[in-house]
Amino acid sequence: MRFSFENVSATDYDELRPTYAPEAVAWVAEHARLEPGSLAVDLAAGTGQLSRRFLRLGLRVVAVEPAANMRAVLATNLPDVTAVHGTAEAIPLGEGEADAVVVGNAFHHFDAEAAFAEIRRVLRPEGALALFWARTDRHADGLRLGIRAIDEVVERERGSSPIVEAYRAWYEPPEHVEGFATLERRSFATTRRMASARLAALFATSSDIASLPEPQRARLLDRIGELAAELPETLELAERSDVQLWFRDGPGG
C-alpha cells in the first residue's frame, strides 16, 4: 500500500525538509535548454521545494501532488505555480506538453515502469527527466557524532523498511530506460541551518518514520528529541543534491 503524506504535517514538511542546491537546478535548466516560459512539471511536488527553484528561473511550473494537505500549502505559498491533483502514474497533462519533468526525493514511491512510461508520454521529444535527491553529507567531528547517534537509534527502531530499501536502490539508477537517452549524473554540495530542537519534527516528516506504528513512532521521536538536546542550538547541516538526468527520445526514437 502506498504511503500517504496526508499523515504528515504539511507545515513542518514545508519548513524542515531539505531543499536543493540552486546550482543543481541551474545545471538541469542549462542541459535541458529550459528558457523563461518553458513548462516544468514537478511530480510528487510536496509543498514545492523544487517548484519554487524552477519558478525563480522564469519557468511555468505545474506541481502534481496527490496529498491535499501538501497541495494546499504549496498553493498558498506559491500562487504562481499551478498545483493539481495527480500521480506519477497518471499525470494530468496532454501528450508532449512538458519541456521537463522533475522529481524531488520521491521516485522511490512510484511504480517505476508505469511512471517512466507516463513521464515519456507528457514530455516533448528530447524533453528532460531530472530526479533530484537530497542526501546527508559529512559533518564536523562533534556534530557528526551527535547525528550518528540519532541515525543509529533510527536504524534500530525502524528495522528493515521497504521505503528505505526503495530509496537506497536509487543511489544507483538504471543506466538505460526505455524511451530515454543515456543517464547523466551530477552532485552538488550544499548546507542549511536549522534548530536542533526541531530535529524530531524533521524526522517525523519522513515517510519511513511516519509509517511506523504507535507507540513505536512516539518513542523514537522522543529519543531523537533527547539526543538533539545535546547538540548545538543551531546546526549547520552538510548536504548534497544528487541529480540523475535523462532525455526523452527524439521524434524518430
Q: What is the reported pLDDT for 175?
A: 86
Distance of CA 40 to the CA centre of its chain: 15
Residue 56, C-alpha cell as written in the block: 525563480
Enclosing H/E stretch for 231: none
Spatial CA neighbour of 196 closest among 139, 118, 245, 128: 139
pLDDT for 158 equals 81
Q: Say whether 247 sits in a helix, a strand or coil.
A: strand
Indicate yes or no: pTM above 0.85.
Answer: yes
Pure H helices in the chain: 10-16, 22-31, 49-55, 68-77, 112-122, 141-158, 162-169, 199-204, 207-210, 216-228
- pLDDT digit string (tens) for 81-105? 999 999 999 999 999 999 999 999 9
What is the full per-residue pLDDT of the chain (253 aa) written as tens digits? 468 899 899 999 999 998 999 999 999 999 999 999 999 999 999 999 999 999 999 999 999 999 999 999 999 999 999 999 999 999 999 999 999 999 999 999 999 999 999 999 999 999 999 999 998 865 545 456 578 889 889 988 887 678 989 998 999 999 889 999 989 999 999 988 999 999 999 999 999 999 999 999 999 999 999 999 999 999 988 899 999 999 999 875 5
- The pLDDT of residue 1 is 44
